Structure 1
Amino acid sequence: MKEVKILIVDDHPMIVEGYKNAIENMDGGDYIFKIDIADSCDTGLHKIKKASVSIGYDIILLDIKLPPSKDGKIVSGEDLALRAKRLLPEAKIAILTMFNNNYRIYNILKNIDPEGLLIKSDVDSEEIITAVKTILERPPYYSHTVNRHLRTQISNDFLLDDFDRGILFHISKGVKTKDLPNYVPLSLAAIEKRKKNLKIIFDVSSAGDQALIERSRENGFI
């Protein structure tokens, strides 16, 4: 039987336990599942780095909203997924998130191109089992809310990259615009241009930074 190593990264213990129990009790056929758990960007990255020099992971299940790394370089599960794809290119990435709007679904699919994308409100034990089996054998797997958005052809044509998300994160932590080049590797002029575009995207072009932060948080970007 083949051992399948799975890393679950989520900071909600009850949710993690639910995923873990469902996977461990599923009829795995020819698979035996070994599950690791992390509860933040830092602990997740530590386990991913450790796995990159050993036998790796087959599947990484990542929540989008995670406690950021202490150095502020990894601010979400989205950033952690991109690190995982570089460090463990053979691992299959599955994103689980509570955010079910077009903004978030579109950006996750474009930025990460995961083998799985599940909206948490869609997920029960049967959904997790189906997702794991599909991701292992014939990815991708999308939960029904994601499929509904895809069927209606997501209309948003913008993409927030890691610079944009870094700007939003550090602004939300109280960093002033003039100091952002100390945190984001761009010139002040480039950062100001990106901030202007972000305000247009979130329809707060005539408002201040607080409105941008609030709208970004509502849509799951910080």
Structure 2
Amino acid sequence: MLTKHLFLVDDHPITVDGYKNLISRTKTATTDIDFVTAYSCEEAYNRISEKHNDQENFDVALLDISLPSYPARNLQTGIDVAKLIRHYFPACKIILLTMQSEPAIVTTAIHEVNPEGFILKNDIDATSFVTAYQSITLGASFYSNTISKVQNNAIIKKLNFDAIDLQILLLLDKKIKTKDMPNYIDLCLSAIEKRKTNIKNQLLKDKGNNAAIVTAAKKYDFFKFIKNLAFLT
């Protein structure tokens, strides 16, 4: 029988019990689940050390971000615990859970941990929690709606596209050819092409056509942002 080793960390024991009950529903006749629990950064550090010393691994870790700290090991939050798990158990899938959606917290967690799952607790119920857990264990990633919005807004702000750049994106979405864009934007063709190249370089890691640029922009909800701008009214 295949055993999955799960690590559950939350400072509320009743929440940990809830996770255990929900995840236990995913067991099959050929799988079993071994739960290890902790309720603070210090307890988490001890459980991680024990697992590592026993030359065993965690397959999945569910971590609350807000945890009692462990200053002796410089573990202040669940983000620090997640980084420790990344170090000792690189293959472990990490799911961060939180009641906090402040951009600074979300962007820090994504940058420093890059979790396979990131869930605002208010975004999900029991059914969607199980669905998210199963999709993550099968290799997908899952960020709940609020977390995705915060992440996308941070990306948009970082890209710092101005109104003309956003107009170019809108025209691309409407399938307007680049050579015809001077009819819509008060810029010469060479200036528009230079801006479009910059947009593509920032949105796409690899080369792509106009459709690929639009697809990348939609991934980050640019068009929801664009529709509220004054030049569209």
Check whether TM > 0.5. Answer: yes
Alpha-carbon spacing, 1:47–1:154, altered in 2? closer, same or farther (3 Å): same
Letter in 2 for 1:12: H
Are 1:25 and 2:25 an aligned pair?
A: yes
Corresponding position of 2:100: 99
Alpha-carbon spacing, 1:74–1:23, altered in 2? closer, same or farther (3 Å): same
Q: Contact between 1:102 and 1:156, CA under 8 Å: does it hold in 2?
A: no
User: In the aligned structure 2, how far is the partner of 1:32 from the partner of 1:112?
Assistant: 27
Corresponding position of 2:122: 121
User: In the aligned structure 2, how far is the partner of 1:71 from the partner of 1:156?
Assistant: 36
DSSP 3-state at the match of 1:35: strand
Which shifted more, 4-13 or 137-146?
Answer: 137-146
Q: 5 Å matches for 1:39-188? A: 39-53=39-53, 54-71=55-72, 73-152=74-153, 154-155=155-156, 157=158
DSSP 3-state at the match of 1:110: helix
Q: Contact between 2:27 and 2:33, CA under 8 Å: does it hold in 1?
A: no
Q: Contact between 2:106 and 2:151, CA under 8 Å: does it hold in 1?
A: no
DSSP 3-state at the match of 1:71: helix
Alpha-carbon spacing, 1:147–1:70, altered in 2? closer, same or farther (3 Å): closer
DSSP 3-state at the match of 2:74: coil
Q: What are structure 1's unaligned runs of at least 5 residues?
A: 158-222
Which shifted more, 75-84 or 100-109?
Answer: 100-109
Task: Specify which structure has the bigger relative contact order, considering alpha-carbon pairs within 8 angstroms and separated by 6 or more residues.
Answer: 1
Question: Percent identity between the aligned chains?
Answer: 29
Cα deviation, 1:182-222, whole Å, max 9, x if unaligned, reads: xxxxxxxxxxxxxxxxxxxxxxxxxxxxxxxxxxxxxxxxx
User: In the aligned structure 2, how far is the partner of 1:72 from the partner of 1:60?
Assistant: 19
> How far 1:67 moved relative to its partner?
0.3
User: In the aligned structure 2, how far is the partner of 1:102 from the partner of 1:10?
Assistant: 21
Q: Contact between 1:122 and 1:143, CA under 8 Å: does it hold in 2?
A: yes
Residue-pair matches, total: 157
Which shifted more, 48-57 or 148-157?
Answer: 148-157
DSSP 3-state at the match of 1:33: strand
User: In the aligned structure 2, how far is the partner of 1:77 from the partner of 1:124?
Assistant: 22
> How far 1:155 moved relative to its partner?
4.3
User: In the aligned structure 1, how far is the partner of 2:110 from the partner of 2:29?
Assistant: 30
Letter in 2 for 1:48: I
> How far 1:103 moved relative to its partner?
2.0
> How far 1:94 moved relative to its partner?
0.9
